[in-house]
Amino acid sequence: MSQRPSGRDVDVIDVAPVNKKENRALYKKRTKIHAKRTTGMYRSLKSWMIVVLLAIYYVTPWIRWDRGPGAPDQAVLIDFVSQRFYFFFIEIWPQEVYYLAGLLIMAGIGLFFITSLFGRAWCGYACPQTVWTDLFVAVERLVEGDRAARIHLDNAPMSLRKFTKRALKFSIWLIISLGTGGAWVFYYADAPTLMMDLITFQASSIAYATIGVLTFTTFSLGGLMREQVCIYMCPWPRIQAAMMDEESAIVTYRGDRGEPRGPYRKGESWEERGDCVNCNQCVVVCPTGIDIRDGQQLECITCALCIDACDGVMAKVGRPQGLIAYASLGGEHRRAQGDSSGIRLFRVRTLIYLLAWAGVGLIMLYSLANRTDLDINVLRDRNPLFTELSDGRIRNGFTFKILNMASEQRTLILSIQGLPGARLKVVGSEDLGESTTPYFTVKPDRVHSVRLLVSAPRDALPSDAVDVRFILNEVNATSKAHYDSVFRGPEK
Amino acid sequence: MAENPQVDEVTGTETTGHEWDGIRELNTPLPRWWLYIFYATIVWSFGYYIAYPAIPMVSSFTKGMLGYSSRAEVAEKITAAKAGQKIYLDKIEGSSLEEIRTNPDLLEFSLASGRAAFNVNCSQCHGSGAQGVKGYPNLNDDEWLWGGTLDAIHFTIANGVRNDQSDDARTSAMPAFLKDEILDRAGVNDAAEYVLSLSGGGADKEAAARGKAVFSENCVDCHGQNGEGLAEVGAPALNNAIWLYGGDKKTIVETISFSRHGVMPAWGKILDEATIKSLAIFVHSLGGGK
C-alpha cells in the first residue's frame, strides 16, 4: 500500500443504493444490481458453504447402501411407488410420517434458534436461493467480468462480443439449472437406472416434466430474479423479526464510530471525524442493493459481504476493523456506556429455542430407537356386526393388516384374550381349519392382509360387546404386537 | 372520469372518481406480472376453444380439433382395465372351483371381483354385507337351503330358485298345509309347537307331543326325522337357531299354513361364467362355506 503514490488510497465509488427505505414503492421497475466482487473471511465462508451444500445436494442420491436382496440400495430414497422412505439405516413407512413432521418441527425451531442468535444467517449462507444466486453471480462474473465491466456491457449496444458473452453465460446457467432439476429426481428413483433412462429418453414424462419445471425455476429465480425473490416473494423476511431481539447479532454499521463520515485523504487527521471514508464499497458489494449504513433493513439477508468490503478498506486506511460487523443493538448500547461485553448468546429466548429443539430431537430419537418392526391393525366387520351359527355360536369377522417391516420372512402366531371358548379361522387358499392359535407366514417388508373369523359360544358372552385383545407373537423370536378390539353379539 | 382524473394526495394514485361518505376509491394499477398472466390466460383460452369441446350450441356443441371426449376416455380406460383382467378371468373360467380356491392369486382376484359382482347384483335382496333379511337367506352363516359346498353354491347362483329362466332352477315344493286343507288349525298349531321344541323352544309340551305325530306324517320326508333338513330338496334344518322367516310361533304357524316359496333369478343366464365362479368363491368365503 505504501508504495502507492499519494492521493486516494481507496476507490471511492459514486453510487446510490438501489434499495433504500425512502424509495420503496409498490410499483417500481427493477434496477439491476451489479454486485462487486469482494474477498475476506465471510466471502470464504460463503464459498465453502456453497461447495458443501451443493455437494450434499448433488452427491447424496448416488450414495449406495446395501439393504440385502430385493431392497433398494440407494442410501436416501423417497419411494412413492412402494410407499417407503429410506435414509441410510432407517426405513420409514407411510404411517410413520410423523418422523417427517418431527424433522420439520426441528428445522423450524432450529431456524428460530439460529435467527435469535445471528439474525438471518439462514438467508445469508444456507438458503438455496442464496446458494444458487451466488453460484449464478459467480458464473456471470467469470464470463462478463466484475461490476464495472458488467455495467459497461449492459449499456453497450448489441454486438457479436456482447451476444457471445450473453450466450455463454446463459448456457452455463442453463446447464447448472438442468443439473439442479436433474439431481432432484434422483431422490425419487434409483439414480443410476434413472440416469440411463433419462439419457436414452425412456424415463417417465413426470421425470422430464419435474426436471423441466425445476430447470425453469432455478434459471429464473437464481439467474434473473435474484434479490427480488428475497424482497418480494419470500415470507421469511416478514416474520423473522419476531424471533429476534435487541441481543441478536446482526450485520451492523457502527454509526457511533463511523460518523461523521466523509472522504479521507492520506495523511489527514482522524480527529473530529468518523472512520467511515464514504467509499461506498459496502454499497457496491451488496447483493440486495442496500446501504447497510441506513440501519437494519428488510432487504438485508446478512450475507456479511459488506463486512469483508469495509474491513479491507479499514486495513488500507489503517483504522481498526469492524466498522461494519456482527453486533447487537444491546451490545451497541452497552458499548456506548463503556461496557464492552458485546454479544450475549445465552439468553432466555435462545435457551428456550435450544431446549425445545433438543426436546423434539430426543423424543424423535427415543421413538426411533424403540420402534418395532412388527405391527397389526385390525378392522372388524361392520356389516354384519355378527353372525349367528346353526350350533348357537356367535361369529365375528375381522380383517388383519400385519405389517412386517423386517427384511426377512416371519412366521407369526395369533391368539385372542378375553373371549373364553373362542375359535379362530383364517380365510385363505390353505384350509387350516379352526384353532385357538392360527399361524401364518408373512413375506418380508410387506403388509400382509388376513381375514379371520372368530367364533365363541353365545353363553360365553357377558354382554353384546366384549373387549378382546389380539396378540401376535413371532415364532422363535421376541417380537410381538397386539391390538384391542371388540367382539359383538346379540343384545342380552 | 377520464376527462377529469383525480389524484389522491396521500398516495399519489389516481382515483376512480367514486366517493362514499368522503372515502374515495383508488384506481391502483394491477401488478404487471399479474396483468401479463391474465392476458396469457385469455390467449390460452382461445387455443382451448379451438382444441377442445367448448361452446354449447342449440342441440350440440363445438367438438374441438383434438376430438377429445371424456366419455371416450372413460371407455378407453375401461377397455384397458378389462384387458388387464382378462388373463385372470380366462384362468378362472378354465379352472375348477376348488382349483381357484386353493390358488392364492386366483382366490384374491375372484374374491375381489366376486364382491364387486355381489354388490351390483345380489345385495338388493341379500344385503350389502350378505347378512340377508326375512325371506332372503343370510349368506354368512353355516346353514344352506341348497347346500353350502362350492359346487352347490355355484349351481344355485347359476340356475336360481323357482324361475322360468333355467330348467335346472332349484324348486322346493312345501305344501300350504292349512290353505290346501291338509291340516286343520289345531294340527298346524301342534306341528308348530313340535318344530319349536326341536331347537329347544316352545311352551306347550302336550301340543308338541301331539305335533310329533303330525310331523312324522307330513314333514319328515323333506325335513328329516329330527328336523335336520335336506339340501337336495331345499328343506331347511328346523333343529337349530337359524330361521329364514323367523323362529317365533306366530311366524312358524304362518309358514306351515301358507308355505314359503322364495325366488331367485338364474344368474347363469345373465352373467358370464367367470363372474358366477367368482360369486360362488366369494359367497363360500363369507364364513359358512362347507
> Is B185-258 the same fold as B72-169+264-285?
yes
Which residues are CB-neighbours of B277 under 8 A, at least 6 positions away? B92, B93, B97, B100, B110, B154
| Chain B CA closest to residue A387 | B141
Pick from B31, B103, B237: CB nearest A390? B237
Closest residue in A to B111 (Cα) is A428
pLDDT category at A311 given cuts 50, 70, 90 is: very high
- Whether A464 and A437 share a structural domain: yes
Q: Per-residue pLDDT for A217 more than 90?
A: yes
Contact: B141, A451; criterion CB under 8 Å: no
Q: What is the pLDDT of residue B4?
A: 55
Which of A412, A451, A398, A445 lies closest to A429 in space, CA to CA? A451
B140 and A384 within 8 Å at the Cβ level: the answer is: yes
Segment A481-485 shows an average pLDDT of 92
CB atoms within 10 A of CB A325: 20
The domain of A435 spans 374-488
State the nearest Cα–Cα gap between B127 and chain A, in angstroms: 9
Residue with cell 373387549: A467
Please tell me the distance from the alpha carbon of residue B285 to that of residue A441, in angstroms, as a whole number.
Answer: 20
Q: Quick one: pLDDT at residue A90? A: 86
For residues A280-300, give the mean pLDDT. 90
Chain B residues touching residue A391 (CB < 8 angstroms): 240-241
Report the percentage of chain B scoring pLDDT > 90.
Answer: 74
Beta pairing partners, A85: A78, A92
Give chain A's domain count.
Answer: 2
A359 and A383 fall within a common domain:
no
In sequence order, what DSSP letters do the residues of A347-374 get, joined into one string? -HHHHHHHHHHHHHHHHHHHHHHT--SE
Q: How far is A26 from chain B (nearest CA, A)?
A: 9
Average pLDDT, chain A: 88
Q: What is the 3-state secondary structure (H, E, C) of A163-190?
A: HHHHHHHHHHHHHHHHHHHHHHHHHHCC
Whole-number percent of chain B with pLDDT over 70:
98
Overall CATH class of domain B185-258: mainly alpha
Coil, strand or helix: which one is A336?
Answer: helix
3-state SS of chain B is CCCCCCECCCCCCEEEEEEECCEEEECCCCCHHHHHHHHHHHHHHHHHHHHCCCCECCCCECCCCCCCCHHHHHHHHHHHHHHHHHHHHHHHHHCCHHHHHHCHHHHHHHHHHHHHHHHHHCHHHHCCCCCCECCECCCCCCCCCCCCCHHHHHHHHHHCECCCCCCCCECCCCCCCCCCCCCCHHHHHHHHHHHHHHCCCCCCHHHHHHHHHHHHHHCHHHHCCCCCCEHHHCECCCCCCCCCCCCCHHHHHHHHHHCCCCCECCHHHCCCHHHHHHHHHHHHHCCCCC
d(CA B137, CA B157) in angstroms, rounded, equals 13
- Both A177 and A72 in one domain: the answer is yes
Instruction: Name the 3-class secondary structure at A14.
Output: coil
What residue spans define the domains of chain B?
72-169+264-285, 185-258
Residue A390 is nearest to which of B31, B128, B242, comparing CB atoms? B242
Cβ contact (<8 Å) for A383 and B101?
A: no
Chain B residues in contact with A383 by the CB 8 A cut-off are 127-129, 131
Three-state DSSP state, A258: helix
Task: Give the number of other CB atoms < 10 A from CB of residue A401.
Answer: 14
pLDDT at B1: 42
CATH number of residue A384's parent domain: 2.60.40.10
Specify the pLDDT at position B75. Answer: 96
Same domain, A12 and A46: yes
Report the greatest alpha carbon distance in chain B: 112
CB < 8 Å to B138, chain A: 384, 387
SS3 state of residue A17: coil
**Which one, of B187, B156, B180, B146, lies nearest residue B259 by Cα?**
B180
Average pLDDT over residues B276-284: 95
Q: How far apart are CA B281 and CA B113, in angstroms?
A: 10
Query: In the predicted model, what is the mean pLDDT of residues B120-130?
Result: 94
pLDDT of residue A46: 94
Closest chain B CA to residue A449: B108
Percent of residues, chain A, with pLDDT higher than 70: 98
Distance from the A392 Cα atom to the nearest Cα atom in chain B, whole angstroms: 6
pLDDT of residue A342: 72
* Structure confidence at residue B167 as a pLDDT band (50, 70, 90): very high
A344-403 pLDDT tens trace: 888 898 999 999 999 999 999 998 888 888 888 999 988 889 998 888 899 999 999 988
Query: Is 50 exceeded by the pLDDT of residue A6?
Result: no
pLDDT for A391 equals: 85
Question: Which of A390, A429, A451 comes nearest B104 by C-beta?
Answer: A429
AA letter at A425: K
β partners of residue B61? B56
Of B102, B142, B288, the CB nearest to A429: B102
Residue A12's pLDDT band, with cuts at 50, 70 and 90, is confident
For the stretch A148-186, pLDDT in tens is 899 999 898 999 999 999 999 999 999 999 999 889 999
Q: Does B285 touch chain A (CB under 8 A)?
A: yes
Q: Output b/e per residue, A422-449; b: 16+ Cβ within 10 A.
A: bbbbbbbeeeeeeeeebebebeebebbe
Of A483-487, B12-16, B220-224, the one with minimum mean pLDDT is B12-16
Peptide bond before residue A260 is cis, with ω within 30 degrees of 0:
yes
Mean pLDDT within B212-225 = 92
pLDDT mean over A263-292: 88
Count how many pairs of residues, chain A against chain B, have C-beta atoms within 8 Å. 58
pLDDT band at A266 (very low <50, low <70, confident <90, very high): confident
Report whether pLDDT(B3) > 60.
no
Q: Domain check: are A46 and A132 in the same one?
A: yes
Q: Which residue is closest to A452 within chain B, CA to CA?
A: B287
Contact call for residues A6 and A273 (beta carbons, < 8 A)? no
**pLDDT at residue A1 in the model:** 37
Confidence of residue B5 (pLDDT cuts 50, 70, 90): low
Residue type, B30: L
* CB-neighbour burial class of residue A159 (10 A; exposed 0-12, middle 13-18, buried 19+): exposed
- Determine the residue among A379, A423, A429, A432 to mutate to test chain B binding: the one whose Cβ has the most chain B Cβ atoms within 10 Å: A429
- In this structure, the number of other CB atoms found within 10 A of the CB of residue B147 comes to 17
Find, in chain B, the residue whose alpha carbon is nearest to that of A454. Answer: B287
pLDDT score, position B47? 92
Angstrom CA distances, B119 to A301, B98, B112, B123, B270, stand at 62, 23, 11, 5, 15
Say whether residue B241 is in contact with chain A using an 8 A CB cutoff: yes
pLDDT of amino acid A184: 92
* pLDDT at position A475: 86
Q: Please indicate, yes or no, whether residues A163 and A303 belong to a single structural domain of this protein.
A: yes
Best residue in B13, B35, B126, B140 to probe A by mutation, most A CBs within 10 Å?
Answer: B140
Residues A470 and A436 in one domain: yes
State whether residue A137 is helix, strand or coil. helix
Query: CA-CA distance, A332 to A326, in Å (whole number)?
Result: 11
Q: Do A467 and A483 form a contact (C-beta atoms < 8 A)? A: no
A256 vs B: CB within 8 A: no
Find the CB nearest B128 among A383, A387, A392: A383
User: Quick one: A461 and A314 in the same domain?
Assistant: no
pLDDT the model gives residue B229: 92
**Are B226 and B239 in contact, with CB atoms under 8 Å apart?**
yes
Q: Does A397 touch chain B (CB under 8 A)?
A: yes
> How many residues can be counted in chain B?
290
B104 Cα to chain A: minimum distance (Å): 5
Average pLDDT, chain B: 91
Closest C-alpha among A279, A276, A275, A280 to residue A291: A280
pLDDT, position A3: 40
Q: Decide which of A477 and B235 is more confident.
A: B235
Angle CA B131–B137–B142, to nearest 5: 80
Query: Do A233 and A380 sit in the same domain of this protein?
Result: no
The three cell numbers locating residue A192? 443410476
| CA A112 – CA A349 distance, rounded (Å) | 10
The more confidently predicted of residues A335 and B40 is: B40
- CA gyration radius for chain B? 35
Check A428 against B103: CB less than 8 A apart.
Answer: no
> In one letter, which amino acid is B17?
G
- Quote the pLDDT of residue B289: 81
CB B129 within 8 A of CB A384: yes
Contacts of A426 (CB under 8 A, 6+ apart): A432, A438, A440, A450, A451, A452
Paired residues of A481 in beta bridges: A472
* Distance of alpha carbon B173 from alpha carbon B194, whole angstroms: 21
The three cell numbers of residue B149 are 359346498
The pLDDT of B127-138, averaged and rounded, is: 92
Chain B nearest C-alpha distance from A424 (Å): 11
Q: How far is CA B267 from CA B135, B154, B281, in A?
A: 19, 10, 15
Inter-chain touch A388–B103, beta carbons under 8 Å? no
Put simply, whether B129 touches A (Cβ < 8 Å) is yes
pLDDT at B2: 47
The residue among A371, A402, A417 that closes a domain is A371
Same domain for A423 and A281: no
Mean pLDDT (whole number) for A80-92: 88
CA distance A44 to A308: 10
The ipTM of this complex is 0.77
CA distance A104 to A107: 5
What architecture is the B72-169+264-285 domain classified under in CATH?
Answer: Orthogonal Bundle (1.10)
Residue A414 contacts residue A437 (beta carbons within 8 Å) = yes
Judged against a pLDDT cut of 60, whether residue B58 lies above it is answered with yes
- The pLDDT value recorded for residue B67 is 87
Residues A317 and A405 in one domain: no
Distance of alpha carbon A454 from alpha carbon A419, whole angstroms:
10
| Most confident listed range (A84-88, A92-96, B26-30, B186-190) | B186-190
A337 and A441 inside one domain: no
Of the residues A371, A393, A428, the one at which a domain ends? A371
The per-residue pLDDT for range A196-214, each reduced to its tens digit, is: 999 899 988 999 999 999 9
Please state which of the ranges A21-35, A302-316, A412-426, B180-194 shows the lowest mean pLDDT.
Answer: A21-35
What's A60's DSSP letter?
Answer: G
- B26 shares contact with chain A (CB less than 8 Å): no
Candidates A24, A387, A432, partner chain B, best to mutate (most B CBs within 10 A): A387
Q: Is A22 on the interface with B (CB under 8 A)?
A: no
| Amino acid found at B122 | C
Domain end call among A371, A405, A440: A371
**Residues A61-74: tens digit of each pLDDT:** 999 998 887 788 89
CA distance B200 to chain A (A): 11
Residue A446, beta-bridge partner list:
A404
